[in-house]
Amino acid sequence: MRKIKVGIIGFGTIGSGVVKILASSRDLIRQRLGAEVEVIKIADLDITSDRGVEVNSSLLTTDAKEVIDNPDVDVVVELMGGYEPARSFMLQAIAGGKHVVTANKALIAKHGDEIFAAVEDQQVSIGFEAAVAGAIPIIRLIREAFVANGIITIEGIVNGTANYILSKMSDEQCDFDVALKEAQEKGFAEADPTFDIEGIDSAHKISILTRLAYGTTVNCDDITVQGISGITIDDIECAREFGYRIKLLAISKFNGKSVDIRVHPAMIPQSHPMANVNGVLNAVRVCDNLMEENVLIGHGAGSLPTGSAVVADIVEIARDILAGTKDRVPAQSFLKNEMRSIPLMNIDEIESEYFLRFSVLDNPGVLSRISGILGSHSIGILSVIQKGRCDQGTGVPLIMMTHCASEKNVQLALKEIDALDVVCEKSNLIRVEN
């Protein structure tokens, strides 16, 4: 029976998951593929630590070139993460005529143009399903299942760490720092969680989905990104009172002329299909011109969920190898000559409803001063919550929900309000996504 031979660079959490799945599902894969998938080389700087999976020591090496330059390897799987040397290894493998698979969203987001061009020039295949939302097959859906659909909106809860923290804050009424510490203790958050909690990881992922959905390249540095570290218990509880939950959303909307792409905490109605996607789960909502919406929910991280997406890519490439086909599905979803440059909408141009939290002195006339400034910028107030009295000289929360207004006007109004002598600290803004 034909064997498809795989070399892996990176034998950490995901790499060990891939090896486990290929071993445990060997027969199932053979029955569906008509060939065996065999790992013949694994490269990692650490080849002595126990990964929880049995591997013949002859397969292990500390030299990635033993994978890249191995003439027997059909598919090189990059699972080391980061920009370098992952980029160089990927390009070397492609230049050598190897098909490639990666779970590296940062690499695809930042160096996608270079990598996709190399793939097309060498006429090899690339799989990167695991780069976005783990086990949720959103990339395959956009590239293949939604090929006739004019996508209008993509919204996603695509970072399990941030979602776990917000879920815990909401369900257990604990502070951000407490929720983050628990996430780290359980292994859901890195020792340095910056990429996750500040929205950078989500920005990488939404830039990839935007490329596939609309056929345009997005520079991650051009995406408006706001993390969740400023979300408080007061925000969570007030959102609940208004009938909303707070989620870190990655958003991409195409109006036919420009793309509105951003990452930030958002209030979504409790009836929203993603409102009860909690813990480390991910969700992606796709709206297009043929269907109102499709919502996919699943495990977005972890050894086996992400490993299953990697294995799915390996098997898909193996099918093409066995069939002797190339370029069956364009790597970027669109043909190379059909890719275009679509301008990005400035955040100031968006319109939304807003949740505004102020800390103000409990003095007469404060509400009218703030509402007056909002009104002068054409911002209508939908509802108000004013918390109880406090000690003289300290601030009390004043919460407002607005009607739909422009981002530009809201920012100008907040700048004026923050300068008032009755405002005790910088105001907080959370956008509403219905």
Report pLDDT digits (tens) over 44-81: 999 999 888 989 999 999 999 999 999 999 999 999 98
Do 165 and 180 meet the contact criterion of CB atoms below 8 Å apart? yes
Counting every residue written for the chain, the total comes to 434
Q: What does the pLDDT read at residue 388?
A: 62
DSSP β-ladder status, 3-9 and 75-78: parallel
pTM listed for this prediction: 0.94
Q: Are strands 381-386 and 395-402 parallel, antiparallel or unpaired?
A: antiparallel
Split at pLDDT 50, 70, 90, the class of 392 is low
- What was the pLDDT predicted at 385? 87
Q: Give mean pLDDT, residues 244-248.
A: 97
Whether the CB-CB separation of 300 and 158 falls below 8 Å is answered with yes
Between the CA atoms of 378, 379, 381 and 386, what dihedral angle is there, to the nearest 10 degrees? -120
pLDDT, one tens digit per residue, over 272-331 is: 999 999 999 999 999 999 988 999 999 988 899 999 999 999 999 999 999 998 878 999
pLDDT at 389: 60
In the residue annotation, 205 being an active-site residue is answered as: yes
When pLDDT is averaged across residues 110-139 and rounded to a whole number, the result is 95
The full set of domains in the chain, from first to last, is 3-133+303-334 (3.40.50.720), 138-299 (3.30.360.10), 347-432 (3.30.70.260)
In this predicted structure, the answer to whether residue 386 has a pLDDT above a threshold of 90 is: no
Considering 110, 205, 247, 253, which one is annotated as catalytic? 205
User: Binning pLDDT at 50, 70 and 90, where does residue 409 land?
Assistant: very high
405-406 and 351-361 as β-strands: parallel, antiparallel, unpaired? antiparallel
Percentage of residues of the chain with pLDDT beyond 90: 89
Q: Collect all residues with Cβ–Cβ distance below 8 Å to 288 and sequence separation of at least 6.
A: 146, 149, 150, 151, 152
